[in-house]
Amino acid sequence: MSSTPRPRKLLLRTLRAQLAYAGLVLVAGTFLFYYVLRQLYFTDVDDALVLRREEVMKKLPLVPAPADLALWMQLDRDLEIRPLGAEAPAPERIIGELRYDSLAHELEPYRTLITTVPYQGRPYRLVLRSSLVEDEDLLAAIGLAQAGLLVVLLGGLVLVQQRVARRLWRPFYDTLAQLRRFRLDQRTPVALAASSVQEFGELNEALTELLSKHRRIFLSQKEFTENAAHEMQTPLAVQHTKLELLAQSPDLTEAQARHLDALVAVTQRLARLNRSLLLLARLENQQFATDDTVTLRPVVESIAAQLAEQAEAAGLTIELALTAPAPVRANQTLMEILVSNLLSNAIRHNVAGGTIRVQLTATELVVENTGRPVALPVGQEFARFRKDALSAPGGVGLGLAIEQQVCDSCGLELAYTFEAPNRHRFMVRFS
Amino acid sequence: MKVLIVEDEAELAASLVSYLQGEQYRCEVAATFAAAEEKMLLGDYDCILLDLTLPGGDGLELLRQLQARHKADGVIITSSRNALDDRITGLQLGADDYLPKPFHLSELSARIAALVRRRHFNGSNVVLAGPLAVDLLARTVRVAGQPLPLTRSEFDLLVLLLANQRRVVMKSTIAEHLSGDLAEHFDSFEPVYTHVKNLKRKLAEAGAGDCIRTVYGLGYRFELPAA
């Protein structure tokens, strides 16, 4: 949804927007202040020039001779009065101009009043000047004041965000933390604290309702799984026990025994299939807590030892290279199921005189076995009830699907590779 | 020995009764929560087989009641609710054992025998059968007083057969008894044949006679030769 690739905190986002806006207003304000102040200042200076002109016009008749005007001009550098030449008398005007200041040796801004005054019956041009405080100084002063203001304002904003906003948002983060901890299989329903902030109160209410609804669905699913187990397992148990009782008949014939043996075998197979399906259902419903720390080495060692007989019976050698204890965040039962599935598969799908190599490092468990000289079909390695030339007799076709599901629910990665001529390799990565 | 079978499936209860009566157990059956509760209160049983899913209530509740009266150690849970937490809860509540359905009668019989022995023959855990003396605690076997060294699997096999004397113990039961859940990955009974063969030979060599009979490839029966 968001166009930004990296998610940032909401607080940071609002703070950034607020800071940008405040900065913009302050910078614009600096210029605005400068122009308004300058305008006010000009008006002030212009008024003073007009007053001075009136004063000059009052004093002018006191000057005895036109030659004395030069002395006046020498005494007052901001005054200029000369006889109007050929040009026509212009109406009074005030302009801004830059003049070279011989004392400061630089161009200085001036406000200049130009008008025509009568002196001894002749028109004279009167020029009055008033030096302006330097623009740059004014701008700098305003800028400094504004910058100070900016720092105080922005600093204040950050503080407000950190103190007040953080406190305001605390219920949100509390809720978030609780959601993170939430597990469908937890015993108690989730209880989100009521909040004095209306939005958070509503959020918590909605979440509580959603979570409890999901928990109800989950529980009913679990119940269904259990019911399914009961419904299937009980008839199977009856069937099995009856077959066992039948086997006790004193006058059992050999032919009857053969039928009985086959019946026991399929009953066992049905039971096995049912158990596998239930395990898959439970894995898919995430009915296993997967936050125990399971040390894999003893698991592998014990299962390899238990399977040694089967391997021996099939004429296989098992090589173990367990170089790390390999603690994994998972579920003990599931890891035992995974390892026993991997190892029994390696035995079942092997060839006479073949080998099984089990490597355990801190990052992966690798089970490699000799087998048929054909790779498992890509993308279908972990499919259910796959029936092809590769499936061994007796298996229920769910072993690899279970391995995949176990890895999924524990956050482990399961991969399969084939190496010519006949090496099949299953890797479980847990780094 | 009195056994209470708490099981709502009538046919299964009948099978259990039929098999266990042959082992000289007196069996009573309770098919509902209420019936089980009443029988548990009135009677005293050496062993209670407890199904968890019962009409009228949860079997774990019955277990809690037994625990309050310190009688939970005689309980074997026989449930199809193979959920891990039920197993853990059950054992935490003091149940002695947990046998998921479907189970093998001969395995159940062996578990009951072990339980009864633990509760009633504290200290003397020796099973006697003809010239055989099997010490379950020390895991040693003597034939006519002479020690007979057996492997772990052979010993377990012998105990299973002894708990089901004169009965056919099916080879799939033996496979599961010896390697637990791992047995389900294999249809090959090669290891079972090997262990039975070795045990037979060792017993015969020690002078116990030919006491393990093969029943048409279906399973095996332990029977002391008529003297």
| 8 Å CB contact between B118 and B131 | no
What order of strands is seen across the sheet that includes strand A355-360? Answer: A317-322, A355-360, A364-370, A423-429, A413-419
> What is the rounded CA–CA span in Å between residue A148 and residue A259?
99
Question: CB B54: neighbour CB atoms within 10 A?
Answer: 22
Contact (CB<8Å) B83/A272: no
- Residues in contact with A256: Cβ distance below 8 Å, sequence separation at least 6, in sequence order: A249
Token pair for residue B15? 């099978």
Instruction: Evaluate if residue A377 carries a pLDDT over 80.
Output: no
Instruction: Sort B27 into a burial class: Cβ within 10 Å, 0-12 / 13-18 / 19+.
Output: buried
pLDDT in the model for residue A2: 42
Pick A355 or A185 by higher pLDDT: A355
At residue A357 the predicted structure's pLDDT band, cuts being 50, 70 and 90, is very high
CB within 8 Å of A262: residues ≥ 6 apart: none
Range list for CATH 3.40.50.2300 in chain B: 2-119
Instruction: Look at residue A38 in the predicted model and tell me its pLDDT.
Output: 80
Q: What percent of chain A has pLDDT over 90?
A: 20
Task: List the single range of A39-53, B23-37, B67-81 with lowest mean pLDDT.
Answer: B67-81
pLDDT of residue A134: 63
**What's the mean per-residue pLDDT of chain B?**
88
- Sorting pLDDT into bands at 50, 70 and 90, what band is B16? very high
Find, among B181, B184, B135, B178, the residue nearest to B157 by Cα: B178
Does the pLDDT at position B9 exceed 70?
A: yes
Residues B127 and B159: their CA atoms lie apart, in Å, by 9
Task: Provide, as residue numbers in chain B, all residues whose Cβ is less than 8 Å from the Cβ of A230.
Answer: 53, 80-81
Using a CB–CB cutoff of 8 Å, tell me whether A394 touches chain B. Answer: yes
pLDDT, average across residues B82-91:
73
Q: Could you tell me where in chain B the CATH 1.10.10.10 domains are found? A: 123-222
Neighbours of B141 (CB within 10 A): 24
pLDDT of res. A41: 83
CB of A289 within 8 Å of a chain B CB? The answer is no
Structural class in CATH, domain A292-429: alpha beta
**Cα–Cα separations (whole angstroms), residue B167 to A368, B18, B86, B200:** 42, 12, 32, 17
- CATH class in words for B123-222: mainly alpha
The confidence score (pLDDT) of residue A386 equals 59
**Contact between B186 and A344 using a beta-carbon 8 Å cutoff:** yes
Asked if pLDDT for residue A394 goes beyond 60, the answer is no
pLDDT at A4: 46
ipTM of the complex: 0.88
Name the strand (E) or helix (H) holding A43.
helix A10-59
pLDDT, residue B134, reads: 92
Answer whether residue A431 shows pLDDT above 80: no
Q: Where are the domains of chain A?
A: 11-137, 198-284, 292-429
* Nearest of A257, A285, A267, A397 to residue B101 by alpha carbon: A267
pLDDT at position B227, please? 58
| CB contact set of B2 (below 8 Å; sequence gap of 6+) | B25, B26, B27, B28, B43, B44, B45, B46, B47
B188 touching chain A per CB within 8 A? yes
Residue linked to tokens 């074997």: B76
**Positive or negative: CA dihedral B132, B135, B140, B146:** negative
- Over chain A, what is the mean pLDDT? 83
Name the range with the highest mean pLDDT among A155-164, B113-122, B133-142: B133-142
CA gap B32, B13 in Å, rounded: 12
Q: Note the pLDDT tens digit of each residue in B118-162.
A: 877 665 688 888 899 999 888 999 999 899 999 999 999 999 999
CATH number for region A11-137: 3.30.450
Residue-wise pLDDT for A138-153, tens only, equals 767 877 887 788 888 8
- Answer whether A236 touches B (CB < 8 Å): yes
Contacts of B21 (CB under 8 A, 6+ apart): B27
Confidence band of A388 (pLDDT split at 50, 70, 90)? low
Tell me the CA end-to-end span of chain A in Å, nearest whole number: 31
Class of domain B2-119: alpha beta
pLDDT of A61 reads: 86
User: Residue B225 is encoded by which pair of tokens?
Assistant: 């030769």
Q: At what angle do helices B105-120 and B152-163 cross, to 10 degrees?
A: 90
- Mean pLDDT along residues A326-346: 90
Give mean pLDDT, residues A155-162: 82
What gap in Å lies between CA B35 and CA B39, rounded to an integer?
A: 6
Closest Cα in chain A, distance from residue B217 (Å) = 8
